[in-house]
Amino acid sequence: KQEVTQIPAALSVPEGENLVLNCSFTDSAIYNLQWFRQDPGKGLTSLLLIQSSQREQTSGRLNASLDKSSGRSTLYIAASQPGDSATYLCAVRGSQGNLIFGKGTKLSVKP
Amino acid sequence: ETGVTQSPTHLIKTRGQQVTLRCSSQSGHNTVSWYQQALGQGPQFIFQYYREEENGRGNFPPRFSGLQFPNYSSELNVNALELDDSALYLCASSSHPTGNYGYTFGSGTRLTVV
């Protein structure tokens, strides 16, 4: 059974710092992995989608990497801003086409 | 291109009642999935619909049921509501049932059962 873990559960950094969020999964036979952002009480905003054949994807200040063999993905945020404060969720695609989520990392960027 | 829209945004129901939540998929998407997110947890997969048929289901009891319409919009119905059903319900749409091209989520419906 696929399980997704995100560490740390919460992270607080000063504005301008570069940071890394971690995601691990137990079954390396994934189809793709997607990173989302969730603001309090709101829906999910897709940030990056990495297919199983890819090693990384980039969008602006965000870079996500995927290492299937070790069951890990990282989301790198460069030059963090207070507006980046949110919960970041990673999800892998399950066998039914569904997404299996971690519990998320709650990020707080202090001005 | 319109995104995924859900209605209502919030509602309060009494234990034992029934509720219907609605979702309009993103333009061009034929697959709709529903997720339940309890406070402080990641979303949990309820079920998925493709071309009006359920083609995947998570570990939820039969009192959670759904429909997909010819225009690919969808409903989630929950009967005999329990206090633990209080959660954010998220709808997601995709252009393919395999999810190979990723998912787009709506803003969710916050359900409170009292």
Q: Are A52 and A32 in contact (CB under 8 A)?
A: yes
pLDDT interval class at B100 (50, 70, 90): confident
Dist. CA B13–CA B28, nearest whole Å: 33
Q: How far apart are the first and last CA of chain B?
A: 38
Residue A60: what pLDDT? 97
Tell which A residues from 71 to 90 touch B, by Cβ distance under 8 Å. 89
pLDDT (average), residues A86-92: 97
Yes or no: say if A85 and A109 are a contact pair by the CB < 8 Å rule. Answer: yes
Q: What is the per-residue pLDDT for B1?
A: 57
Confidence of residue B99 (pLDDT cuts 50, 70, 90): confident
A44-51 vs A62-67, strand pairing mode: unpaired
Please say if the pLDDT value at position A73 is more than 90. yes
Predicted confidence at residue A70, as pLDDT, reads: 95
B104 CB neighbours in chain A (<8 A) are 46
pLDDT in tens, B21-58: 999 999 989 999 999 999 999 999 999 999 999 999 99
A46 interfaces chain B, CB cutoff of 8 Å:
yes
User: What's residue B97's pLDDT?
Assistant: 84
Whether B42 and A102 lie within 8 Å, measured CB to CB: yes
The phi, psi pair for A9, rounded to 5°, reads: -75, -30
Please tell me the distance from the alpha carbon of residue B60 to that of residue B48, in angstroms, as a whole number: 12
Percent of chain B with pLDDT over 90: 89
* Residue A109: strand, helix, or coil: strand
Here the contacts of B23-27 (C-beta below 8 Å, separation 24 or greater) are B23/B73, B23/B74, B23/B75, B23/B76, B23/B91, B23/B93, B23/B106, B24/B73, B25/B72, B25/B73, B25/B74, B25/B91, B25/B93, B26/B1, B26/B2, B26/B93, B26/B104, B27/B1, B27/B2
Task: Give yes or no for residue A96 having a pLDDT over 80.
Answer: no
Taking the Cβ of residue B40 and every Cβ of chain A, the question of whether any pair is shorter than 8 Å is answered with yes
The stretch A23-37 carries a mean pLDDT of 94
Question: Looking at the predicted structure, is the pLDDT value of residue B2 above 80?
Answer: no
Of A34, A98, A102, nearest to B102 by CB-CB distance is A34
Spatial distance between the Cα atoms of A74 and A69, rounded to a whole number of angstroms: 14
Nearest C-alpha neighbor of B8 from the set B109, B111, B87, B93: B109
CB A111 within 8 A of CB A16: no
Instruction: Note whether B99 contacts A99, CB cutoff 8 Å.
Output: yes
For residue A91, list chain B residues with Cβ-Cβ distance below 8 A.
42-43
Helix, strand, or coil (residue A54):
coil
**What radius of gyration do chain B's Cα atoms show?**
13
**Peptide bond before A8: cis, by omega within 30 degrees of 0?**
yes
Name the DSSP letter for residue B69: -
